[in-house]
Structure 1
Amino acid sequence: MKKFILFIGGLIALFILLANLGPMVILALSVWLLYVCFKKFVQTDSTAAKVGWVIVGLIVLSISFSNIYAVIGVAAAYALYLIYKNWNTSESSEVQVREDDDPFTNFEKEWAELNK
């Protein structure tokens, strides 16, 4: 049952990711262009060039804000990652007992061996 639910969740996340793939690419491109505009703004010494880079940066920022719903696609990609990671985990939560030679941590085991 767990694998069926993971499969259905993964299928839904995959469809959401594919639907938002275009806006995700445009968002990534606009964030990169914002970085380039900022670097050029910092490097230039001319006031007119700084004003020009600010105007270009604001235009690119408006493109970024128009594709902000692409974050849903990023969340779907993260959900797919979590589903892939949890696909092969066992359904039963078994507690593993650690074997030590220290008699103080395994007192019950030592007592049972002494009473035999």
Structure 2
Amino acid sequence: MKKFGLLIVGGIAAIILLSQLGPIIGLAISAAVLYLVFKQFVKSTVTWEKVVWGIAGLIMLTVTASNLPAIIGVAAAYVLYLVYKKWNGSTSAKTKKNDPFTNFENQWNELNKQ
């Protein structure tokens, strides 16, 4: 029953992620361009260059803000990751056996007992 619930939640998250794939790409591209425009704005020394880069920055800020629903898609990707992690089971017990620090502590305790 638990796997069935994970399957349902994972399916819904996958559908949401696929439907928001375009806005996610748009958000990433527009945020990158906005960052580049900001860097050029900071570098410019002439007033008219600052005005041009400022106008370009406002345009890119508007484009970036129009893609904010992509955050829902990013959240769906995170939910899909959590479902995948739960589906395969807890890996923390496996990593504790192979953890060199845990093995060192165990060996150190054995040496101190002798």
Structure 1 spans left out of the alignment, 5+ residues: 91-99, 103-116
Gaps (5+ residues) in structure 2?
91-105, 110-114
Name the counterpart of 1:12. 12
User: CA deviation digits over 1:59-100, x for unaligned, max 9?
Assistant: 01101111111100000000011111111227xxxxxxxxx9
Count of equivalent residues: 92
SS of aligned partner of 2:82 = helix
**Larger CA Rg, structure 1 vs 2:** 1
Query: Percent sequence identity over matched residues?
Result: 55
Query: What amino acid is the match of 1:49?
Result: E
Cα distance in 2 for partners of 1:67, 1:88 equals 33
Partner residue of 1:28? 28
Task: String of CA shifts for 1:13-37, please: whole Å, max 9, x gaps.
Answer: 0000000000110011110011001
- Structure 1 residue identity aligned to 2:15: F
| Bigger share in helix | 2
Query: 2:3: which partner in 1?
Result: 3
- Structure 1: which amino acid aligns with 2:70? A
Letter of the 1:52 partner, please give it: V
